[in-house]
């Protein structure tokens, strides 16, 4: 009897050792080797987890960058300094990162844009856009319900007293989330050093624009004739500015009859302006 018990104990011990050795072998053979650069990159990133890079947060971007599936400058929220550090960790050359910020291309304040009805429902621009355009007669203008403000993770947007959002360019990281949630395409990313804007996106003929908003582009061509560098042209009823040719002289803004053109001037370091506020 005791011999049987001892034999069983020895057998169990041998099996235990065999299974232990098998587990050690399996853990070493099938172990997933973590790239140490992933942790380094994650610590370099801002940690906002905004998803603007197209990946599931900062850790997702770090893993993709380490695997060569994301560019070193893919984190827009981190800006050029983070892009340079990421490039250094990856051992690649830093690209020419150009800072961008959000801009609201609409001048249709509550006082200047006509409304045919009052929207009552979920305070979200996307919902309002589906319900008769939110009551705003202009089918292209800002609806003013602040969906962009709520979506901003960096506190760079706020609603102004005139019903249009204001961008704090110092806080804006250029992540583009506000532009993604805007159903009208009113918010767009622009180079941070850009100085002149046509704050309207309506392609409607001037006569129709006048009927719904007194601050929209009416395609009068005055700005195009005024510009001495050929930086502005009216295309499909809307004035379009070529930033590379624009000198920010302000002559187009001064001549614009609806004051839809905003010019900050070539050297002026201006405070963030309400969308559509033109420099006189």
> How does pLDDT run across 63-118, given as a tens digit for each residue?
888 888 888 888 888 888 888 888 888 888 877 778 899 999 999 999 999 998 88
Report residue 254's pLDDT band, with 50, 70 and 90 as the boundaries.
Answer: very high
The mean pLDDT of 165-172, rounded to a whole number, is 95
Distance between CA atoms of 110 and 213, rounded to whole angstroms?
Answer: 10
pLDDT at 211: 96
Residue 272 has pLDDT above 60, yes or no: no
Of the candidates 197, 199, 165, 166, which has an alpha carbon nearest to the alpha carbon of residue 264? 197
| 176-187 pLDDT, tens digit each | 999 999 999 999
CA terminus-to-terminus distance, the chain: 106
Tell me the C-alpha distance between 185 and 192, whole Å.
19
Residues 130 and 73 in one domain: no
pLDDT tens by residue, 31-75: 556 778 888 888 888 888 888 888 888 888 888 888 888 888 888
> 184-243 pLDDT, tens per residue?
999 999 999 999 999 999 999 999 999 999 999 999 999 999 999 999 999 999 999 999
* β-bridge partners, 42: none
Give the pTM: 0.77
- The answer to whether residues 236 and 210 belong to one domain is yes
Between 217-221, 256-260, 274-278, the lowest mean confidence (pLDDT) is in: 274-278
Range(s) of the domain holding residue 209: 100-263
- Bridge-partner residues for 157, per DSSP? 167
Identify the residue with better confidence: 146 or 132. 146
Tell whether 107 and 86 lie within a shared domain: no
Average pLDDT over residues 267-275: 45
Residues 255 and 178 in one domain: yes
Give the pLDDT of residue 12: 73
Closest by CA to 260, choosing from 173, 180, 196, is 196
**274 has a pLDDT exceeding 60:** no
Predicted pLDDT of residue 221: 96
For 134, phi and psi rounded to 5 degrees? 70, 10
Domain CATH number, residue 224? 3.30.70.20
Q: Strand ranges (DSSP E) for 30-180? A: 100-104, 157-159, 165-167
Domain identity same for 49 and 161: no
Rounded CA-CA distance 38/17 in Å is: 36
3-state DSSP call for residue 167? strand
Do the beta carbons of residue 264 and residue 270 sit within 8 Å?
Answer: yes
Same domain for 253 and 121: yes
> Which two tokens mark 151?
């979506």
Q: Are residues 117 and 249 in the same domain?
A: yes
How many separate domains does the chain show? 2
CA 54 distance to own-chain centroid: 11
Q: Are residues 239 and 175 in the same domain?
A: yes
DSSP string, 183-246: TT--EEEEETT--EEE-----S-HHHHHHHBTTS-----HHHHH-SSS-EEEETTEEEE-TTT-
Measured between alpha carbons, how far is 247 from 263 in angstroms, rounded to an integer?
Answer: 10
């Amino acid at each position: 009897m005791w011999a049987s018990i001892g034999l069983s104990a020895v057998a169990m011990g041998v099996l235990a050792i065999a299974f232990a050795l098998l587990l050690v072998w399996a853990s070493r053979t099938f172990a997933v080797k973590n790239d140490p650069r992933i942790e380094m990159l994650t610590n370099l990133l801002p940690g906002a987890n905004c998803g603007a890079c197209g990946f599931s947060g900062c850790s997702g971007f770090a893993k993709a960058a380490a695997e060569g599936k994301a560019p070193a400058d893919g984190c827009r929220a981190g800006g050029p300094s983070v892009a340079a550090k990421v490039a250094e960790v990856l051992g690649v050359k830093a690209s020419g990162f150009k800072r961008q910020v959000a801009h609201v291309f609409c001048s249709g304040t509550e006082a200047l844009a006509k409304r045919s009805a009052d929207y009552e429902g979920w305070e979200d621009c996307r919902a309002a856009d589906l319900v008769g355009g939110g009551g705003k007669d202009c089918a292209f203008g800002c609806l003013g319900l602040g969906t962009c403000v709520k979506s901003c993770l960096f506190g760079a947007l706020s609603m102004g007293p005139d019903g249009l959002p204001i961008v704090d360019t110092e806080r804006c990281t250029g992540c583009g989330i506000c532009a993604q949630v805007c159903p009208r395409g009113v918010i767009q990313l622009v180079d941070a050093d850009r100085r002149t804007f046509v704050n309207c996106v309506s392609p409607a003929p001037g006569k129709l624009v006048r009927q719904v908003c007194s601050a929209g582009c009416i395609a009068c061509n005055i700005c195009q004739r005024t510009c001495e560098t050929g930086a502005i042209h009216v295309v499909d009823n809307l004035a379009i500015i070529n930033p590379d040719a624009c000198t920010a002289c302000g002559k187009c803004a001064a001549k614009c009859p609806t004051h839809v053109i905003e010019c900050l001037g070539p050297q002026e370091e201006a405070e963030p302006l309400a969308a559509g506020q033109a420099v006189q």
